[in-house]
Amino acid sequence: MCHRHKRIRLGFLFLLLFFCSTGQSNTRAGGALVISSPSIPKSFNPIIAKETSTTFITGFIFEGLTATDGITQQVKPNLAVSWKIDSTGKIWTFYLRKDVYWNDGIQFTARDVKFTFERLIFNPDIPTSSRDVFSIDGKPIKIEVVDRFVVRFILPERFAPFLRLMGQEILPEHKYKKIVDRKEFSFAMGLDSNPNDIVGTGPFMLEDFRPGEWVILKKNKRYWKKDADGHDLPYIDRIIILTIPDQNLALLKFKKGELDMISLRPQDYLLLIREKPPDVKIFNVGPSLGSEFLVFNQNLESPIVEYKKQWFRNINFRKAVSCAIDRQTIINNIFAGLGHPLYGPVNESVPEFYNDRIKKFHYDLKQAEKYLAEAGFRKASDGLLYDPYGNQVSFSLITNSNNSQRIEQANLIRTDLEKLGMKVNFLPVDFNSLVTRINSTKDWEAVILGLTGGIDPHFGKNVWVTTGHLHLWNLGSPSSVYLWEKEIDKIFEQAAKCLDPDKRRQLYYRWQEIFCENQPMIFTATSDVIYAVRDKFGNLKPTVYGGLFHNIEEIYIIKKR
């Protein structure tokens, strides 16, 4: 890029910042929010999006019939003002808002909902992950337009997560029908699109995109939400999202005042605390929904040696390993003390489903030695651990080489297990090789990985049930399945069809109890979610689930007097 063009672009950006900061009569309206993203979006198409770099942007532009409240984590009305379900639990009727307009001025109706599901989500020519989520027992959902503002969904079976899933983005029929008819939708809404071709109902709309530099979103002046005094929302005129791949550079720009908000790593938090910048607020909103874990390959069909399969399938061996992991040291050394130990697949950040009564294998080397002794393992005079048949306990441990925190965690765990006499051969590998070994060759012994987590356990079903594509320890091996795994399969089948919230919660409580007692995945720790924000925003309510922007339309810049 020539210097002249770069100056023009930067001049455009500063001009936007200037006009967003002046000339507003409403005390809450106006201004720009400047944030960053580590990578550019792949497109502006929410239907085919699979990466967070895209969904982070489209989340400001598109909306669903329902939304999940960022504070309570409960489902609430959005484009639908209300709904009802019939006595069979299979027919859902949604009553749509009549005051919603697409950002190009056309009114939102039930036809848009039908179009989104029938022509986009259930269209086999369009590669969308939503199709799998909305296929119940392998059957699609039927959609009927009752009238202009009433739409009905007919499900093949009762499906408890359905209401939360209706946060699915809705797209306008009038804008994209012809593109779908031409079978070009999978390539539509690309990065070279005219901003006017990205049409949603959300609080913001696309204004400008410069690859590697920024995405600029402007206020949707037709947005349907109002504040308590009847003023238009959102308050903020623009969101400027700078592309900054390096977290250290993003932190530097935040410290210099060039960014308004940033997600902090533990080391960033410690640095800011020491420097005590006067115009910054720091929010620690609690343990992340994500998790880190160690898992052993229990697949009887894997190519690893038979006696190692028997170690990994021995419940006392896995319990011993869990007791030997010093989770607090992981938190102190890797997360700078800003973390929480994990003992199961759900933590306290999901109060609706977290079961605090699960079996917790705390750090206890003596207890670990007892579990090993019960399984017939013995520690010899050379300090090494042997199985009942004289085989030295030695195995390889892998993780993805591009994740420094997992590498640190693997080294700490290796040290912990060596105290029991185990020999752990740690080898970081590139992510593609790791995926190939897990999914294709099954040639691995132990691995450290993580899950992003979420609210409803059903959406992690592909990890927990025996037929799931991420059922790591027994992936694709019916012959390796335990009776307790079959019980978990039944629990997830029942919970998916259970519309009683209390009964459904108890089913998932039981799943956690079974899972933690058997330790197929040995959970370690999760970091706190921490944000730093310039001290100039009102209505800021950061949460673990909703992040900083779950109420973006309500956030405003406090004007200086």
- pLDDT bucket at 24, cuts 50 / 70 / 90: very low
Position of tokens 């874990």? 293
- pLDDT bucket at 559, cuts 50 / 70 / 90: confident
For the cut 90, the answer to whether the pLDDT of residue 550 exceeds it is yes
Over the chain, what is the mean pLDDT?
93
Q: Rounded CA gap, 519 and 523, in Å?
A: 8
- What are the backbone angles phi and psi of residue 428, rounded to the nearest 5°? -70, 140
- pLDDT bucket at 432, cuts 50 / 70 / 90: confident
Lowest mean pLDDT among 24-33, 74-83, 91-100: 24-33
Position of tokens 């947005």? 223
pLDDT value at position 13? 53
Sign (positive or negative) of CA dihedral 150, 130, 297, 339: negative
- What are the backbone angles phi and psi of residue 159, rounded to the nearest 5°? -145, 100
- What is the pTM (predicted TM-score) of this model? 0.88
Q: Rounded CA gap, 533 and 553, in Å?
A: 17
Smallest CA-to-CA distance from 13 within 215, 206, 191 is with 215
Q: Rounded CA gap, 113 and 101, in Å?
A: 13
pLDDT value at position 25? 54
Q: Cβ of 216: how many Cβ atoms within 10 Å?
A: 21
Q: Rounded CA gap, 29 and 230, in Å?
A: 13
pLDDT value at position 105? 98
- 548 to 56, 81, 225, 444, 529: CA distances (angstroms): 12, 25, 19, 39, 11
pLDDT value at position 143? 97
Apex CA 301: angle with CA 299 and CA 304, to 5°?
Answer: 75
Average pLDDT over residues 185-190: 94
Position of tokens 């929480």? 340
> Phi-psi region for residue 442, left (φ > 0), alpha (ψ -120 to 50) or beta?
left
Determine contact, residues 434/399, Cβ cutoff 8 Å. yes
pLDDT value at position 99? 97
pLDDT tens sequence across 88-114: 999 999 999 999 999 999 999 999 999
What percent of the chain shows pLDDT beyond 90?
A: 87
498 token code pair: 């259970």
Strand order across the 521-523 sheet: 423-429, 394-400, 446-451, 291-296, 521-523
- What are the backbone angles phi and psi of residue 137, rounded to the nearest 5°? 55, 35
Which amino acid does the sequence have at 545?
A: Y
181 token code pair: 């008819």
Determine contact, residues 299/477, Cβ cutoff 8 Å. yes
Determine contact, residues 28/538, Cβ cutoff 8 Å. yes
pLDDT tens sequence across 60-74: 999 999 999 999 999
Smallest CA-to-CA distance from 236 within 251, 252, 216, 250 is with 216
213 token code pair: 């530099």
Question: Please, what's the b/e burial string for 380-407 (b: 16 or more CB within 10 A of its CB; e: otherwise)?
Answer: eeeebbbbeeeeebebbbbbbeebebbb
Secondary-structure breakdown of the chain: helix, strand, coil percentages, each rounded to the nearest 5 = 35, 20, 45
- pLDDT bucket at 458, cuts 50 / 70 / 90: very high
Determine contact, residues 237/31, Cβ cutoff 8 Å. yes
For the cut 80, the answer to whether the pLDDT of residue 26 exceeds it is no
Domains, the chain:
66-176 (3.90.76.10), 291-527 (3.10.105.10)
Average pLDDT over residues 420-429: 97
Tell me how long the chain is. 561
Q: Exposed (0-12), middle (13-18) or buried (19+): which is 367, by Cβ within 10 Å?
A: middle
Determine contact, residues 524/290, Cβ cutoff 8 Å. no
pLDDT tens sequence across 224-265: 999 999 999 999 999 999 999 999 999 999 999 999 999 999
For the cut 90, the answer to whether the pLDDT of residue 557 exceeds it is yes
Helix (H/G/I), strand (E/B), else coil: 331:
helix
pLDDT value at position 469? 87
Q: Rounded CA gap, 108 and 101, in Å?
A: 5
Position of tokens 């079996």? 359
Determine contact, residues 331/337, Cβ cutoff 8 Å. yes
pLDDT tens sequence across 269-315: 999 999 888 899 999 999 999 999 999 999 999 999 999 999 999 99
State the DSSP string of 401-452.
Answer: TT-HHHHHHHHHHHHHHHTTT-EEEEEEE-HHHHHHIIIII---SEEEEEE-
Lowest mean pLDDT among 76-90, 111-125, 132-146, 488-502: 132-146
Q: Rounded CA gap, 365 and 450, in Å?
A: 25
Average pLDDT over residues 526-552: 96
Please confirm whether the linkage preceding 234 is cis (ω < 30° from 0).
Answer: yes
Strand order across the 204-210 sheet: 32-37, 238-243, 214-219, 204-210
Position of tokens 């160690």? 294
pLDDT tens sequence across 159-186: 999 999 999 999 999 999 999 999 999 9
277 token code pair: 């910048």
41 token code pair: 């979006």
Q: Rounded CA gap, 48 and 274, in Å?
A: 43
For the cut 50, the answer to whether the pLDDT of residue 22 exceeds it is no
pLDDT value at position 16? 53
For the cut 60, the answer to whether the pLDDT of residue 4 exceeds it is no
Determine contact, residues 128/186, Cβ cutoff 8 Å. no
Average pLDDT over residues 315-321: 98
